[in-house]
Structure 1
Amino acid sequence: MSYARKLTHGQRCRILVYDLTSESATVVHTDSAVLFEAPNWSAGGDLILNGDGLLWRLPSGGSAPPRQIPLEGVPELNNDHVLAPGSETIFLSANDGHIYEAPLHGGPGRRVTPDDGLMHFLHGVSPDGTTLAYVGIENQRWDAGSLFTMATDGSATTPLTPAPGGPDDGPEYSPAGDWIYFNTERFSTAPGHAQIARIRPDGSDMHRLTTDDRVNWFPHPSPDGARTVYLSYPPGTTGHPADLPVELRLVDGDAWDSPRTVAKLPGGQGTINVNSWSPDSTRFAYVEYPERNTNGGE
């Protein structure tokens, strides 16, 4: 059985790149057949996405269509995948609940996570490439995910947030490796009211960063540490569903009390689940899912 998401009738997938210098976004690919999700930005200038449970490569300038990266021994993918710093390795979450390692150019994959009773959803790799940060879900309790780290060889599992709890999601290392940014419901009694927080890699000093009435997910620090972009849902949203009017918000430095909305779009799940900053921190990629109007336009 396939769990890969599909476009609805009349829906399109548009992959965009936002440029901080021009403060504008450019569409680099439009697709009406494959629902692409969650771009990474490789050191070589390509976007790495998932779609139809597979991994794809797309030039960030849109000079060619996406092409599949052939993987061996890796089950159908979900949309959580992260590039290892400074290497040609990618870590991938699959729909069997495990994390895999594979060469970015394609080839045989290796399962990283053990059979420990958890479903594992990857979101971060430490700057030195030795440790993964992920969400652990027990017995498919989506309302109680908590954060863990693990060495890239599958050893040294360390819980960061108490379980059950949260739910927590999207753990991602800062460029210096001294913080892990994530979203959590631990600071609210309202179901679904996720806010951005951060915690030290040893599980200490957890504190909240956003305090508004919106539902905030997936914080992504830029490689130079100067900014963070995150996904913001309308108030009252539960979880991180697809096909809602969402915003991408940008935070300069630690000015979490004054984020700037840089894009409004139809999206949510799949838009920006993983870090998609360019290596030079001047651009980031994201995906939107517009419906076609009756006159044939977007």
Structure 2
Amino acid sequence: MRSLLLACLMAAPAAAGTVSTLNVIAIEGGAPTAVATASGIFEAPNWTPNQDGFVINQDGRFFRVPMSGTARTPFDTGGLKGCWGEHGFSPDGKWFALSCPAAGEHGPDVHVIPANGGTAQRITRQPISFFHGWSPDGANIVFTSILGNHEDIYTVPVAGGAPQRLTREGLNDGGEYSADGRFIYFNSNRTGAMQIWRMRTDGSDAKQITNDGFDNWYPHLSPDGKWMAVLSYAKGEATSGHPMDKDVTLRLIALDDGRTRVLTHLTGGQGTFDSPCWSADSKRISFVSYEMEKQP
């Protein structure tokens, strides 16, 4: 989504002629199931706490989409506007984190609102910052922030407190806690190609997890702690940003032994699954694919 210091001062506009499809795929195999399709760009489907639908972002606003794919409804963001795609519900289902500019700011910060909508509470005060994940106990949020030409991973207590910077080498993004809360997985280009890394929650003991012929983005960890889903580009195509409308692959990596398999190929990238994407039972993944609208 972001090329360092970016076009990131406003939410990405919908591209004329693009069709977006919200999909669900089972990890045991089979083709994706299309839930909803619409003209324009919508992004980053996040499962609702009761698993009966999704929240998506389009043109800086959020919408609920039921599992049936019927008419979507606006999601109350407490007056926040110009929001980005990175968002997610807290582990207890009571709160919703989102990335939006505060009043008077041009870049996004992390906010939380009640899960059913309502008044927003600002969590970070260092635009440009993007939510990426909750700790399993709901006490902390991991986010990406761009400060002084550096894109790094931070954590911050939801109850208040100073953010802690965890990375300092290369471009770092997509932080997400492991199911047991012991580690944060993220993507980094510190050794050249964009690969998946893992570190302890204080930033120590960083270890490279993937080292293959792809540029890998956005590790998403299954709730049962067994799997990691990643978005993979052709090597060299996404070392400093994750462009959209590319031929990409969703891959599944076993956390116990590193075995890897392909879930599906699609046209996507930015917006495909920028937010946590696993169903609560760890059996399904949501994502968005894109195509050009057919002309009459």
Q: Tell me if TM exceeds 0.5.
A: yes
Supply the AA of the counterpart residue of 2:189: E
Contact 1:73 1:110 in 2 (8 A): no
Offset at 1:227? Answer: 1.0
1:161 CA drift (Å) = 1.3
Counterpart position of 1:100: 111
Q: Which residue of 1 aligns with 2:130?
A: 121
Where 2:218 maps in the other structure, the secondary structure is: strand
Deviations 1:113-147 (A, max 9, x none): 13x5x5211101100001011112114x2xx3111
Normalising by structure 1, what TM-score?
0.89
Q: Secondary structure at the match of 2:292?
A: coil
Query: 2:10 & 2:167 partners in 1: Cα distance?
Result: 28
Determine the structure 2 residue equivalent to 1:248. Answer: 250
Q: Is 1:273 matched up with 2:277?
A: no
| Alignment partners' CA distance in 2, 1:67 and 1:195 | 37
1:138 aligns with 2:139: no
Kindly provide the CA deviation profile for residues 92-133 of structure 1, in whole angstroms up to 9, marking residues without a partner as x: 11143211111121121111113x5x5211101100001011
Task: In structure 1, list runs of 5 or more residues that go unmatched.
Answer: none
Quote the RMSD (CA, aligned, Å).
Answer: 1.8
Query: In 1, are the aligned partners of 2:15 and 2:41 still within 8 Å (CA)?
Result: no
Alignment check: 8 A CA contact 2:143 2:175 kept? yes
Instruction: Give the equivalent residue in structure 2 for 1:38.
Output: 44
Give distance in 1, aligned partners of 2:61 and 2:114.
Answer: 14
Paired residue type of 1:277: W
Q: Distance in 2 between matches of 1:31 and 1:2?
A: 25
- Give the Cα separation in 2 of the matches to 1:6 and 1:120: 19
Which sections of structure 2, spanning at least 5 residues, go unmatched? 1-7, 102-106
Contact 1:98 1:111 (C-alpha < 8 Å) held by counterparts = yes
Contact 1:7–1:13, Cα closer than 8 Å, also in 2: no
- Is 1:167 the counterpart of 2:171? The answer is yes
**Identity, % of aligned pairs?**
35
SS in 2 for 1:94: strand
> 1:77-226 maps to which residues of 2 (within 5 A)?
77-95=83-101, 96-114=107-125, 116=126, 118-139=127-148, 141=149, 144-162=150-168, 165-188=169-192, 193-226=193-226
Assess, with a 3 A threshold, how the Cα gap between structure 1 residues 55 and 9 changes in structure 2: closer, same or farther. Answer: closer
Please give the TM-score of this superposition, normalised by the length of structure 2: 0.89
CA 1:8–1:154 in structure 2 vs 1: closer, same or farther (change >3 Å)?
same
Structure 1 residue 23: deviation in Å?
2.5
Report deviation, 1:287: 0.1
Pick from 21, 25, 29 the counterpart of residue 36 of structure 2: 29
Q: Distance in 2 between matches of 1:281 and 1:93?
A: 25
Letter in 1 for 2:129: H
Per-residue deviation, 1:237: 1.3
